[in-house]
Amino acid sequence: MGDEITANRKDAHLDLCATGEVEPTQNSTLLECVRLVHCAMPEMAVEDVDLSTDFMGKKLRYPLLVTGMTGGTERAGKVNRDLALLAERNGLAFGVGSQRAMAEAPERAATYQVRDVAPTVALVGNIGLYQAVQLGVDGVRRLADAIGADGMALHLNAGQELTQPEGDRDFRGGYPIVEALVRAFGDRLLVKETGCGIGPQVARRLKELGVRHIDISGLGGTSWVRVEQLRASGLLAQLGAEFSSWGIPTAAATAAVRRVVGPEVRLVASGGIRTGLEVAKVIALGADLGGMALPLFRAQQEGGLEGAERALQLIVTGLRQTFVLTGSRSCAELRRTPVVMTGELKDWLSAL
Ligand SMILES: Cc1cc2nc3c(=O)[nH]c(=O)nc-3n(C[C@H](O)[C@H](O)[C@H](O)COP(=O)(O)O)c2cc1C
């Protein structure tokens, strides 16, 4: 029963994300407040740019993670396989969506299996913080092992839960389970938000507990409060409208978290990243990788694997172009170039 509800909800979410207004237009990543500085004489060729990096023990060709989205239904399984294959072919990292549906009904595991099409991809499993409390460390480990994951993402989504009629209302006991999962997964645990952002206070505490991968997943892209608002009626729909702009903008979370966690934490910046230029901006702000969900999902829904491939080529070409135009051969060099920050982003960074 519970497993049917979880799977049906997943397909309803996919429908809304494929065509709905799930990116409130009033929200912003604040990446428009970040300007990289033009280098008129780059003295390099496009092919001199080396975008490769390491993630979860694997080598990537691009500093990009397809962040966790789905699984649990046939349609979701197709999304996972297409996007995992895209990641395998292009040297990106790939995350499956919440494995809750598979924990509730093990026969759904096939919809998360991508190793046959993506044998070498850096693969990340996924479970919600409070499902992890219920499953315990062994249950979470079984989910990761069952799909051959290189690492496990633990997602935080209090904003979404509070807008869901069936959502959690008790958010106690999170840090102890993070600590237990760090003991089990070591540096292969990724703690991620889902579009409301991880700020510096939470990031500092996560680092103290031993977390070595954080995806800040900030405000400015897909809003899960908005998704739930579109499914809700009455009071919850009104609350959804009120809180659809709640969160820490992606640019602010990225820069503020990097300041407090130092170089030991691998930082993914996601939430509203849509172009190669924006990936370059978050790297310049201190991220190790950019992350994207909605744009690659939509491209896959509209044009299948080829559609997703076309969308990705535009992103990586823009990314490479930004490196050339700033005279940067690598992510480390880009981070050493000047970054102009203006307006509201400066306000956020002086408060955080
Ligand atoms: C269709 C869809 C399903 C998602 N499902 C999950 C999920 O199961 N677990 C999770 O951690 N995040 C999930 N997310 C959140 C994304 O990983 C990401 O944090 C968020 O959407 C912000 O990135 P974006 O603006 O590029 O979409 C989902 C996103 C989308 C678009």
Q: Alpha-carbon distance 61 to 54, whole Å?
A: 9
Cβ < 6 Å from ligand 1: which residues? 13-14, 17, 67-70, 97-98, 126, 153, 155, 192, 194-195, 217, 221-222, 270-273, 292-294, 297
CA of 154 to the centre of ligand 1 (A): 12
Q: Kindly tell me if the per-residue pLDDT of 176 is higher than 90.
A: yes
Query: What value does the mean pLDDT take over residues 310-325?
Result: 98
What is the predicted pLDDT for the residue at 2?
Answer: 56
As a whole number, mean pLDDT of residues 21-35 equals 97
pLDDT of residue 101: 95
Using a 10 angstrom Cβ sphere, with 0-12 exposed, 13-18 middle and 19 or more buried, the burial of residue 298 is: middle
Task: Determine the Cα–Cα distance for residues 163 and 169; give it in Å rounded to an integer.
Answer: 10
250 within 8 A of 221, measured Cβ to Cβ: yes
The Cα 160–Cα 112 span in angstroms is: 23
Q: What is the pLDDT of residue 1?
A: 46
Position 330 pLDDT exceeds 70: yes
The domain of 198 spans: 2-351
How many structural domains does the chain have?
1
Mean pLDDT of the chain: 96
In 3D space, the residue among 70, 226, 101 whose CA is nearest the CA of residue 159 turns out to be 226
Determine the residue of 222, 226, 300, 301 to mutate for testing ligand 1's pocket, defined as the one with the most ligand atoms within 8 A of the Cβ atom: 222
Quick one: what percent of the chain has pLDDT higher than 90?
96
What integer is the mean pLDDT of 1-20? 81
pTM for this entry: 0.97
Choice from 64, 279, 294, 298 to test ligand 1 binding pocket (greatest atom count within 8 A of CB): 294
CATH of the domain at 51: 3.20.20.70
Cα–Cα distance for residue pair 72/97, rounded to 1 Å: 9
Q: What is the mean pLDDT of residues 42-57?
A: 98
Do β-strands 58-60 and 53-55 pair in parallel, antiparallel, or remain unpaired?
Answer: antiparallel
pLDDT of 166 reads: 87
Work out the average pLDDT over 65-83: 97
Quote the CA–CA distance of 56 and 234 in Å, as a whole number: 43
Q: What is the pLDDT of residues 249-293, one digit of tens each?
A: 999 999 999 999 999 999 999 999 999 999 999 999 999 999 999
Percent of residues, the chain, with pLDDT higher than 70: 99
pLDDT in tens, 108-138: 999 999 999 999 999 999 999 999 999 999 9
- The strand pairing partners of 191, in sequence order, are 154, 214
Strand spans (E) along the chain = 34-36, 53-55, 58-60, 64-66, 93-95, 122-128, 151-155, 189-192, 213-215, 266-269, 289-292, 339-341
C-alpha 96 to ligand 1 mean position (Å): 10
